[in-house]
Amino acid sequence: MPILGSHQSIAGGHHRAVQRAGALGFDCVQLFTASPRSLGSGGARVGKPAARAAAISAEQAAKFRDALRQCRVGHPLAHDGYLINLASPDARLWDASVRAFVEEFRRAEALGIPYVVTHPGSYTDGTPRQGVRRICRALDRVHRQTRGMTVGCLLETTAGQGTSLGWRFEHLAWILDGVREPDRLGVCFDTCHVFAAGYPLGTREEYEETIACLDAAVGLGRVKAFHLNDSAREWGSRVDRHAHIGRGHMGLEPFRLLLRDPRFQAVPMYLETPKGQEGGVDFDAINLKTLRDLAAAPNAPSNRKGRSRV
């Protein structure tokens, strides 16, 4: 069976995210290790002196590890903050982003989290190649400043809004080829983003075509995590809007194919679907049941909205 989890809030402490995931029946958990809307503790913003992000205390780390063990939740995954842009041509934002990303690594290392997921970044102006070169310089600096740590970085596939990089698998390949320590990098495959970027997923043939493209670009061994999200926008829209599983434009079949793919049974998968309730039931629980039902389904479901090229 696939390893299924979700992104959970750290309100009340990092260990609370684990407890929330465990209470809902998840196998794994993703979380922010600090406020995602700041480049440092105290709300530091670009153009202001950068405040160093709050370090993880020994007590916080112990509570987090204890919660993982007690709740039988594994594969913790960190997601970086929204303001980090390693591709930025703005020198101040680029520098602040690098420093903030180093702090992301330090917090993940303290908590025992093996990977930090990041969107590669937006190049804003110029060319994609120029943006990729800035990402590579940024990652090289981060790797130098975190030498000796075990934590690595997962480059997330993106939907392709604006000048964001990572919506083509080749972008990820360029980054892997351009950094000095590629062994510290992996890939996080987001289903909504890949669908919105224009990769087909709706039938077995289309799914296999897309996975083959991914394999050719980066190698399937690089894929260390999946984000499971349906898309609120149509195929190829290049708009990042998540929807509940089976309730967006993707439908259920892409998820069934992925969940039953023997190549990915050991790769953890995390929901990032909208929070809330329906009929008094947590949407995370509803989505988890949908996924587990699909993982057990040998045949295609009747919901086939995700036929990508229609």
Residue 71 belongs to a domain: no
Catalytic residue, chosen from 15, 143, 193, 247, is 193
pLDDT of residue 41: 44
Residue 284 belongs to a domain: yes
Give catalytic status of residue 193 as yes or no. yes
Residue 302 belongs to a domain: no
Catalytic residue, chosen from 66, 69, 72, 82, is 82
Give catalytic status of residue 37 as yes or no. yes
Domain count for the chain = 1
Domain residue limits at 109: 81-295
**pLDDT per residue over 224-263, tens digit each?**
999 999 999 999 999 999 999 999 999 999 999 999 999 9
CATH of the domain at 146: 3.20.20.150
Catalytic residue, chosen from 80, 190, 206, 284, is 190
Give catalytic status of residue 103 as yes or no. no
Give catalytic status of residue 227 as yes or no. yes
Give catalytic status of residue 244 as yes or no. no
Give catalytic status of residue 7 as yes or no. no
Provide the whole-model pTM.
0.94
Catalytic residue, chosen from 156, 206, 253, 284, is 156
Catalytic residue, chosen from 14, 227, 249, 256, is 227
Residue 101 belongs to a domain: yes
Give catalytic status of residue 240 as yes or no. yes
- pLDDT bucket at 301, cuts 50 / 70 / 90: confident
Residue 15 belongs to a domain: no
Give catalytic status of residue 242 as yes or no. yes
Catalytic residue, chosen from 7, 75, 79, 134, is 79
Residue 13 belongs to a domain: no
Give catalytic status of residue 170 as yes or no. no
3-state DSSP of the chain: CCCEEEECCCCCCHHHHHHHHHHCCCCEEEEECCCCCCCCCCCCCCCCCCCCCCCCCHHHHHHHHHHHHHHCCEEEEEECCCCCCCCCCCHHHHHHHHHHHHHHHHHHHHHCCCEEEECCEECCCCCHHHHHHHHHHHHHHHHHHCCCCCCEEEEECCCCCCCEECCCHHHHHHHHHHCCCHHHEEEEEEHHHHHHCCCCCCCHHHHHHHHHHHHHHHCHHHEEEEEECEECCCCCCCCCCEECCCCCCCCCHHHHHHHCCHHHCCCCEEECCCCCEECCEEHHHHHHHHHHHHHCCCCCCCCCCCCCCC
Residue 102 belongs to a domain: yes
Residue 127 belongs to a domain: yes
**pLDDT per residue over 86-108, tens digit each?**
999 999 999 999 999 999 999 99
